[in-house]
Amino acid sequence: MRKIEHIGIAVKDFTVSVPLFEKMLNTVCYKNETVAGEKVNTAFFKKGETKIELLESLEPDGVIAKFIERKGEGIHHIAFDVEDIEAEMQRMKKEGFVLLNEIPKQGADNKLVCFLHPKGTNGVLVELCQEIK
């Protein structure tokens, strides 16, 4: 793990939240991307080295919709930048962490991603992500 790559925030409605974050961060959303496999829309903001990813559900039964139902809007996950996702996944498994996917998945923003089960991480959903070169 090298650094926090981004923080993921679950929101109900981009038409409300994108302008809100643009106002708060005083910068425009630089990327919108749909990840159909995860049933989410994403919107990215950058402030210096820090990236924020807003997540909006495409379907009422998507993971983000379910998360908001249980916990309300707010911080959904913390993503760490890794150099070699396969090696990091192996290391995590050896340390006893439970991976939510055994094979890296295609994520937003040109990344391969893997999530760790929050039961093993004090309730924090952790995403490992590696830039696709």
Residue ranges that bind Zn ion, judged by CB under 5 A: 8, 53, 79, 127
Measured from the CB atom, is 80 or 97 closer to Zn ion?
80
Burial class of residue 39, CB neighbours in 10 A (0-12, 13-18, 19+): middle
Closest distance to Zn ion from the beta carbon of 90 (Å): 21
Which tokens belong to 107?
């994520």
Closest distance to Zn ion from the beta carbon of 52 (Å): 10
Closest distance to Zn ion from the beta carbon of 69 (Å): 20
Q: What is the DSSP letter of 99?
A: B
Closest distance to Zn ion from the beta carbon of 55 (Å): 7
CB 118 within 8 A of CB 99: no
Shortest-Cβ-distance residue relative to Zn ion: 8
Q: In degrees rounded to 5, what are phi and psi of residue 105?
A: -105, 155
Strands, sheet with 126-131, edge to edge from the N-terminal-most edge strand: 31-35, 40-47, 50-57, 3-11, 74-81, 126-131, 111-116, 105-107
Measured from the CB atom, is 53 or 81 closer to Zn ion?
53
Measured from the CB atom, is 25 or 112 closer to Zn ion?
112
Measured from the CB atom, is 94 or 103 closer to Zn ion?
103
